Amino acid sequence: MKHFLVAVISAALCISPNLPVAKEKPLRNSVLKKVQLEGLSHKGRYRFGYTSQPVRRGAKAQRFEIRHGDCGRSSGWNDCETDRGRVEMKERPKNAMSKPGKGIWYGYSMLIPQDFQSLGKGNTLLGQVKAEGWNMPMWFLTFNDRPYLNFADNVPCSIGSLASWKGRWIDVTIYAHYGHSGQKSYFQLYKDGKLICDRKTPFMPEEFRTKRPKLGLKYGVYNSFVSRYLARHGQTPAAASAMAQQHEGGTSKSPSSTPFKYDWGVQLPTHVVYYDEMRYGSRREDVDVRMLEARGVPPVD
């Protein structure tokens, strides 16, 4: 009898390995519900789509591609005449996620393929927030020879080598506060759960203290001052004329404002970048890919 009671008590205290692990409910905070493909982008069918491989989690990921000559125009702006090209998703309506005077967390995974080529002194932006009527982004991530995070006041933060970002899924978590006072931190960038940039001072322009800006997140692939790459690796055409562009951060110069009109003897490398698990929220634990995965929260798709 004694042995029987011991066996019963022991069985009651044990947890069966066959019991299902509790999972949290899905979160309704997908960035895809708040964005649309930028109309300024080129019209090639390959520019954007969903893919089942590679993916970070779930059934699909977003795939962006931009090739030499891909550029477009919209009312008041022309990438083709300003040394640029892009294929981006943009926040719509503006201020749907990124709200003036408030903080927000963005979380996602990004895959930059191993064969991704830097544009050298050109810029490849993979993530930014723009304010309507302001040339410089409020913040942006640039991936060239020396990747960096930059702000509207032109204060940069190094984010490591390009090689450290290529060839695998990187989990990115960002906190941004679009205000001017009262915060211990105004911007934080986590790479695979490690804090690599932490800004303690406001980055929003002073005029936005009294003016409510229209803010919008953009992500995909945005290349600027691409003629710098073409001139470095090819030959500058005699008909090309140099461009000097004024902006809040100063003056940026490049060999041509209309690079795709000429034959440089070389072309821009094709860029393909993947994004997955894109979320937004008021808390890190609601957007951080690794935290969500560890808690068993289902993927966004």
Range of the domain at 136: 24-295
Is residue 7 in some structural domain? no
pLDDT at position 109 over 60: yes
The structure's pTM equals 0.91
Sorted by sequence, the CB contacts under 8 Å of residue 167 that are 6+ apart come out as: 112, 113, 114
- d(C-alpha 136, C-alpha 147), whole Å: 17
Look at the alpha carbons of 48, 258, 150, 195 in this order and tell me if their dihedral is positive or negative: positive
- d(C-alpha 261, C-alpha 275), whole Å: 31
Instruction: Round the CA-based radius of gyration of the chain to a whole number and report it.
Output: 23
Angle at 53 between CA 29 and CA 120, to 5 degrees: 85
pLDDT of amino acid 5: 42
Is residue 247 in some structural domain? yes
Phi, psi for 220 (deg, rounded to 5): 140, -125
- d(C-alpha 41, C-alpha 79), whole Å: 9
pLDDT, one tens digit per residue, over 214-273 is 999 999 999 999 999 999 999 999 999 999 988 777 889 999 999 999 999 999 999 999
Is residue 162 in some structural domain? yes
Count up the domains in the chain and report the number: 1
Mean pLDDT (the chain) is: 92
pLDDT, one tens digit per residue, over 172-196 is 999 999 999 999 999 999 999 999 9
Is residue 175 in some structural domain? yes
Tokens 């940069």, residue located? 156
Is residue 300 in some structural domain? no
pLDDT at position 131 over 60: yes
pLDDT at position 107 over 50: yes
Is residue 86 in some structural domain? yes
Q: Would you place residue 9 in the very low, low, confident or very high pLDDT band (cuts 50, 70, 90)?
A: very low
The first and second tokens of residue 49, run together, are 């789509």
Instruction: Answer for the pair 169, 276: CB distance below 8 angstroms, yes or no.
Output: yes
Is residue 8 in some structural domain? no
pLDDT of amino acid 250: 80
At position 93, the amino acid (one-letter code) is P
105: CATH: 2.60.120.200
The first and second tokens of residue 157, run together, are 């933060």
pLDDT, one tens digit per residue, over 143-167 is 999 999 999 999 999 999 999 999 9
Is residue 220 in some structural domain? yes
pLDDT of amino acid 22: 59
